[in-house]
Structure 1
Amino acid sequence: MAIISLGFVGVQLSENWDKVGAYQFTFASLAGLLLGAVVYAGACFFLSSAWYQILSAISSHSLSVKLLRSIYARSQIAKYIPGNVMHIASRHIMLNRLGISHKPLAVASLAEMIGLVSAAVTFAIIGGTLYDLWGEYLKPQLLYIGLAVIAMLLVLLPLIRIACLKYIPASHDLLKKPRLQGALFRAYLEYLLFFALAGAILVALVFQLDGYVSSNSVFAILASFAISWLAGFITPGAPSGIGIRETILVVSLDKILLAGNGALIAILFRFMTVSGDVLFFIIAGGRK
């Protein structure tokens, strides 16, 4: 899938080579790309902080914030190894060697994946819904349906809690420990901040190339980024979702912007995220 996706991106680059070739690496454009990489590196600190919150609530370890952030930064580079799981495995191995048992590490990794997916889905739904509500296709019924679903969930929450405690023994710790619930909620908020910053980088890149981004397009771009990240995350084998994310961004951005810059934007955005990961590794990876 990754190879096919990369081939698709290559074809799009070839068909829109006039726009790609016209892009000039001026001082201003390079400064913008560098700033985007710096912001993305800063966003990665929210990921490491969320990981610390989750692991600290699950395990009674005595490791410092700086050490866990360093391990997280070093392990994140491993996501570029084919397989798209080595960052999770390497982090697990390093922390297990420091005395943390396998069970809390496995539970923390599962909680991290659920939190990231939940945050991505949140941005995708909110961005897509707002785009439809305030775009040219006004669909207020989506808002009414969403509010009705939320109201039903609020009514059913007490019943869901009782059922989980009775039939799912593994849910006891989560539902009966306010500290763990608070840690997971804070982690979820930090994942939302990560997607907000990373999505803002993509919006800024679109603005740099097109010179204008409507408020309606901002919602669509944020939703496109969340969907592309999610697709790359759940696709096994693709290192850091390479090819998968670019394909979705190319298709969605070309439909949103109608300017044929999707391929160029996707490539430049990948450059900024990779540079941001390397910068995060340099800044945080060596600290103990």
Structure 2
Amino acid sequence: MMSMFKRILRWLILGGTLFFLAKALKDNWYSVVAIQIDEAGWAILSIATGVTLLAHTWAGLVWTWVLRELKAPVPTFDFIQVYLKTNIAKYLPGNVWHHWGRIVAAKKAQVPTGVATLSVLLEPLLMAAAATVVIVLFGNQFTALTDNTIVQIMQVLLLIVVLCIFHPRFLNPILSFLQKLKLKNKKTGSTEESSESTTSLRLERYPLKPLLGELTFLVLRASGFILTVFALAPVQLHQLPILLSAFSLAWLLGLITPGAPGGLGVFEATAIVILQYHFPSALVISAAALYRLISIFAESAGAALAFADERLTINF
């Protein structure tokens, strides 16, 4: 029953999102097609693609930092390759196959299964925490539309809770409980499973470096989006905070919403809803659609380069 409910919920979210995007595009169709991109605009879009590719490469580096925090040092360059190769799989139905690919690769590198699994769980959680930081710092740009002080207070409280979750004092007891629960439910196991069960899953210190790394990743991703907007129309300095905060919220909702592989549709819909009060709707729709194409191209290019480099390394 629960599985069916989740499936229905995913289809409802997907259907509602697509309907909203289709209606927004229909209402602004003539304005969208009227937008022209000059030579300078195409150059800026190329830079946005490069920045987005850099962001994903940086995220792979941060993943190796997460593994090191869990006392699982891995070869940095090889695991950045793994990250880039698996990243494109997030667009497959289920939105879990990129995580699965990274767990399998980590196990092949002799990383215990529990540590590998925890690393791919902590990574998006740290990303979400980084997005929350940006939203709280710059979110008053769009919460000011309602001038709701309660909302701002709740944002700060949410940030405190999110940041505290990663403190060893709070996270380690949760990990210990989950590990004991797993051992209790396991009746039989192989020698490998038994040795992995004795591996202590715990953080020795607050993962500040990975958190700052994910914050850098988010700023890089937002920079790619801002450059995309700039390629279509001039952007003033005072508009940067709203673009940064709107991108962070849209990206975060795309990350956590079920039934939206890679945030597909959810990111675009959220960006349109927020930014339509500050920019022409046609500009926002065009920028959101273009940035989705840029993201997919950058992720595909990253995967292709990683595969090509791996093949060349093997041949030599």
2:272 corresponds to 1:272: no
Aligned-pair CA distance for 1:53? 0.6
Aligned-pair CA distance for 1:209? 2.4
- Distance in structure 2 (CA, Å) of the matches to 1:193 and 1:58: 21
Query: What runs of 5+ residues in structure 1 fail to find an aligned partner?
Result: none
Secondary structure at the aligned position of 2:235 is classed as: coil
Contact kept, 8 Å, 1:83 with 1:237, in 2: the verdict is yes
RMSD in angstroms over aligned alpha carbons? 3.2
Contact kept, 8 Å, 1:70 with 1:286, in 2: the verdict is no
Contact kept, 8 Å, 1:251 with 1:262, in 2: the verdict is no
2:249 corresponds to 1:243: no
Secondary structure at the aligned position of 1:261 is classed as: helix
- Who is 1:58 aligned against? 70
Aligned-pair CA distance for 1:264? 1.1
Aligned-pair CA distance for 1:44? 1.1
- Distance in structure 1 (CA, Å) of the matches to 2:104 and 2:70: 17
How has the CA–CA distance of structure 1 residues 246 and 259 changed in structure 2, closer, same or farther, with 3 Å as cutoff? closer
Aligned-pair CA distance for 1:87? 0.7
CA offsets per residue over residues 220-268 of structure 1, 9 Å max, x none? 2111111111111112232211111110011111122245422111101
Matches within 5 A, 1:184-203: 184-203=207-226
Secondary structure at the aligned position of 1:211 is classed as: coil
How has the CA–CA distance of structure 1 residues 234 and 164 changed in structure 2, closer, same or farther, with 3 Å as cutoff? closer
Aligned-pair CA distance for 1:74? 0.6
- Who is 1:80 aligned against? 91
Secondary structure at the aligned position of 1:106 is classed as: helix
Aligned with residue 33 of structure 2, among 13, 21, 30: 21
- Who is 2:54 aligned against? 42
- Who is 2:21 aligned against? 9
The one-letter amino acid of 2:42's match is L
Secondary structure at the aligned position of 1:249 is classed as: helix
How has the CA–CA distance of structure 1 residues 173 and 263 changed in structure 2, closer, same or farther, with 3 Å as cutoff? same
How has the CA–CA distance of structure 1 residues 6 and 259 changed in structure 2, closer, same or farther, with 3 Å as cutoff? closer
TM-score by length of 2: 0.74
Contact kept, 8 Å, 1:59 with 1:100, in 2: the verdict is no
- Distance in structure 2 (CA, Å) of the matches to 1:6 and 1:164: 38
Contact kept, 8 Å, 2:102 with 2:120, in 1: the verdict is no
How has the CA–CA distance of structure 1 residues 139 and 243 changed in structure 2, closer, same or farther, with 3 Å as cutoff? closer
The one-letter amino acid of 1:74's match is K
Aligned-pair CA distance for 1:164? 7.4
Aligned with residue 120 of structure 2, among 109, 125, 135: 109
TM-score by length of 1: 0.81
Contact kept, 8 Å, 1:132 with 1:139, in 2: the verdict is no
Aligned with residue 170 of structure 1, among 156, 163, 176: 176
- Distance in structure 1 (CA, Å) of the matches to 2:264 and 2:102: 21
Aligned-pair CA distance for 1:140? 9.5
Query: What runs of 5+ residues in structure 2 fail to find an aligned partner?
Result: 1-12, 178-199, 311-316
How has the CA–CA distance of structure 1 residues 98 and 32 changed in structure 2, closer, same or farther, with 3 Å as cutoff? same
The size of the alignment, in residue pairs, is 270
Aligned-pair CA distance for 1:281? 1.8
The one-letter amino acid of 2:46's match is L
